[in-house]
Structure formats: structure tokens, C-alpha cells
Structure 1
Amino acid sequence: MKKGNRNALLSLCVVVCISIVCFVVYMSLKEDENVDEISLDTLPEYSQNAYVTINDNEPDFEEYEITEAQTSFETYNQLDELGRCTMAKASVGKETMPKTDRESISSVKPSGWQNERYDFVPGGWVYNRCHLIGYQLTGENANARNLITGTRYMNTEGMLPFENEIAEYVKATGENVLYEVTPIYEGENLVASGVHMQACSVDDDCESLAFNVYAYNVQPGVEIDYATGENEKE
């Protein structure tokens, strides 16, 4: 091989390697760009309300995020080093909604999954496999990146009303909703203390639908060890 050709090939290899490194770094930053900055220290203690509003209930999305959400998408971030769910984000539209009934999700064992039955808990079991983004919105079944150990109370009283609000809006208008859910952990606890949920109607820049809330991962009458998931009657 001539020296000129060899140098050209070497230069091309360098460019390709740099491009690959840049792409990997970009994707890593893209996945981490929405790391939740909510601190448990800034939130009030649970006091009989399933959730509390944040930032006057106004979502904290950047303008470019709303623009990107004109097209439906789903993102489920990688589990962290402790096997915990991190963040799920979607532009929910009619295209993302399921066309079939939900399948079994019992194969997934989220971090801290130590379930117990109590006769005073509706349905019996203290824990549900809680979808970060509800099945009715994106049709995800046994996706380990989208299922956390959540109490029955948080699932039905803290999260479901907001999921229903999004679903009803999308069905009624045909427009998309940008929705992001992030479990919030204290230290290395395996069970989230709660989830941060925010949403925005994409077509009118959050005018028709907007919320920014934190739902408490508690179960009235049950004491939970968030470090392990173990629980007992209070």
C-alpha cells in the first residue's frame, strides 16, 4: 500500500473512532439529561394526601422537549447499579396506546420486591408492580425498566388519576401529551420513597393539560423499610 493511501486510511480510522466515541457520549448524556433534581428534603412529609404539587403544578420541560414530543416516542432508561428503575418518558399519543389486553407482568421482580398480604389493604397485597408509564398509555407489559415496587395506595390513589387524565385527553383530542415519571430514592434504598410525575399537552404548550406532582409510595397502616422492601403492620 502506498504511503499516501496508508495515511488516508489511518485518518479515516481516526475519524470513525472519534465519531463512535462522540456518539456513545451523546447517547449517555441524552439518557441522563432528565435526571430528576427533586430532593426529598424539599418535600413535605406524607400527611393523608396521596400526592403533593410541585412548582405550582407547572411542568419543568424545556421548549425543545415539547417540540420533540410532536412525534410519539417512548424512552425507558437503564436500571442503575442497584437494579432500580430510573426514569421513563414518552410522548403519549393514540399510536402508543395498546390495542390488546395487558399480559402477565409477574416475571418481573422490581428492586425491593418483598410482598405481604394485609386484610385492610384493598386487593390484599401491599405492593403492586407499578408501571412508571401506565399500560393504558404505552402498552408496555413486562418491561423491567418500567416497573417499580409501589404500594397499592400509590398506584391507585397517587398515579392512576393522572394516567387517566392523560388517556382521556389523548382520546378526546387526538393530540400528544409529553409525560415523564421518575422514581425518587433516598440513598441506596431499593424501594422508592415516591415518584415525580409531570405532563404537558404538546399541541398548545401545556395550556390544556399540565401537572407536576410527587406521589408518596406509602400504604396507610403499613410500615415499610425502604432500604429492603420489608414491611409490617403498624
Structure 2
Amino acid sequence: MVKKKQKPPFSPAVMLVAVLIILVLGIFGVQVPENIQEIFGIHTQQQTKPSTTKPINSTNPGPKELGTATFSTSELTDSKNGWIDYHPLDSLGRATGADALLKPTMVNTGTSANKDIRPPGFVSGLEPTLHSRGHLIGRQLGGSGDDPRNLTTLYQTPVNTPYMTKYENQVRQALDKGETIRYRVIPVYEGTALLCKQIDLEAKGLNKHTTVDFRVTILNER
């Protein structure tokens, strides 16, 4: 017996209209239940962009943009493979900086901060300190969360996020477009203070029409 071919539950016209409606709702931030999406064979994904505004009660003035990156010609030399160079810990065990040549293949190859590592000055991620084990080279850029040389104590909000994340995302977007980025992050300390006073970032794309070329400093304060 020849089985009859089952007809789709909806006509092509109805399917097209439904798909368009689901896509439009997604653009405006309206989440369509997954079971309905599955019926029409389409999936939307809600993406939450990190906030770029500081908390209302924050005294942090925000990132200070200092113009373009200051890498020398030799520091902008390209290579086939990307690399990350973590500077050595100082006598107090503090991270002192990191340089990198970032390639698209390095995106999302890093690791989250190891909770067994307590960078100098780290107390707690909870109130009243709200500390974070801040990556110098971010996880999404290939930075290790298991190497103490890549972790320094930052205030989670607003230093680690949204301020530092804002510039890491700029680098990430360029990498996603196939660019190669020279990157440097330096925590600056005052005397024997265990928490850095500020963190300096600079990045420059090696492509001719790069979208990344900045130097910025972020105070490590709430």
C-alpha cells in the first residue's frame, strides 16, 4: 500500500507570515515561546548586551580615553599564530600586565577565573567588597583564568563590567570580522597597595582599515 504524503499543517503563505511575525517580534525583544518557534521551524535567540552605564551610587568617573594606541612598529609585527605573554608576578604576587597578538582562532578559547586563585587584595565577590578575579586578557579573547599572572583584583561593578567589558567587546567584534589585534593590559599600583589604582588598556588592529585603535584607562574604584 502506498502511503499518502502528509500535507504540512499550514499553507506556505501562512508559514511565511508566521515566520515574519516571529522575526519581527524578536527584533523588538519579544520572546516567542520555543514550542511555537519549533512548529514553524525557526529559532530566535535573545542576546543581552552588557550595560554601558555605571550604577547610580558609583563614584567612578568612567573610562578615560587617551587617544590611539602607542605600540611601536616592531610591536605591531604580525605572525602566523597569535600569542599571549603574561608578565611575571611582582614581589607581592601581583599581576603586572599582559601583551597579546590576538587572532580570530583565539576567540572563546580562554577559561573562567579559577576560584582557588585569590589575587592579592581579593576578599569576596559579595557585598561590601564586590571584588572579582579580573582577567587582564579576557576569557573571550583567549585569556587564562588558571594563571595567576592573568588575574588581578578588580571591582566587579563598574570596573570589570561594564567598563572593561566594553573595550573587550570592541576587540572581540573585530576578531569576529577576521582582524588581527595587538593588545596590552597593564594594572597600575600605588606603592604596596594590593589592589591596582587603575587598569590601562590599549589595542590596535593590524588590518589597513581596522576598526580598533584605542588607549584607555579605567580607575579601579566603585
**Structure-1-length-normalised TM-score:** 0.64
Establish whether residue 166 from structure 1 lines up as the match of residue 171 from structure 2: yes
* d(CA) in 2 for partners of 1:66, 1:104: 29
Match of 2:213 in 1: 210
**Residue identity opposite 1:53 in structure 2:** E
Q: Rg larger in 1 or in 2?
A: 2
- Do the aligned partners of residues 179 and 201 (structure 1) sit closer, same or farther apart at CA in structure 2, a change above 3 Å counting? same
Alignment of 1:35-114 (within 5 A): 48-54=60-66, 57-68=67-78, 71-99=81-109, 102-103=111-112, 105-114=114-123
* d(CA) in 2 for partners of 1:116, 1:73: 30
**1:194 Cα deviation from its structure 2 partner:** 1.1
- Do the aligned partners of residues 162 and 82 (structure 1) sit closer, same or farther apart at CA in structure 2, a change above 3 Å counting? same
**1:115 Cα deviation from its structure 2 partner:** 2.1
Match of 2:44 in 1: none
**Structure-2-length-normalised TM-score:** 0.68
Contact 1:149 1:191 in 2 (8 A): yes
Q: What percent identity do the matched residue pairs reach?
A: 27
* d(CA) in 2 for partners of 1:198, 1:207: 14
**1:154 Cα deviation from its structure 2 partner:** 0.4
The CA deviation string for residues 71-123 of structure 1, in whole angstroms up to 9 with x for no partner, is 411100110011110011111112222358x455101110111226338xxxx
* d(CA) in 2 for partners of 1:139, 1:58: 23
The CA deviation string for residues 139-165 of structure 1, in whole angstroms up to 9 with x for no partner, is 412110000000012000220000011
* d(CA) in 1 for partners of 2:113, 2:216: 29
Contact 2:109 2:142 in 1 (8 A): no
- Do the aligned partners of residues 72 and 171 (structure 1) sit closer, same or farther apart at CA in structure 2, a change above 3 Å counting? same
Contact 1:53 1:212 in 2 (8 A): yes
Alignment of 1:215-234 (within 5 A): 215-219=218-222
Contact 2:187 2:199 in 1 (8 A): yes
Establish whether residue 188 from structure 1 lines up as the match of residue 198 from structure 2: no
Secondary structure of 1:160's aligned partner: helix
Q: How many correspondences in the alignment?
A: 164
Q: Unpaired runs of 5+ in structure 2?
A: 1-57
* d(CA) in 2 for partners of 1:118, 1:80: 28
**Residue identity opposite 1:92 in structure 2:** L
Establish whether residue 145 from structure 1 lines up as the match of residue 149 from structure 2: yes
More off after superposition, 133-142 vs 75-84: 133-142
Match of 1:199 in 2: 203
Q: Following superposition, which runs of at least 4 residues in structure 1 exceed 6 angstroms of deviation? A: none
Contact 2:113 2:146 in 1 (8 A): yes
- Do the aligned partners of residues 117 and 211 (structure 1) sit closer, same or farther apart at CA in structure 2, a change above 3 Å counting? same
**Residue identity opposite 2:76 in structure 1:** I
More helix by share: 1
- Do the aligned partners of residues 133 and 214 (structure 1) sit closer, same or farther apart at CA in structure 2, a change above 3 Å counting? same
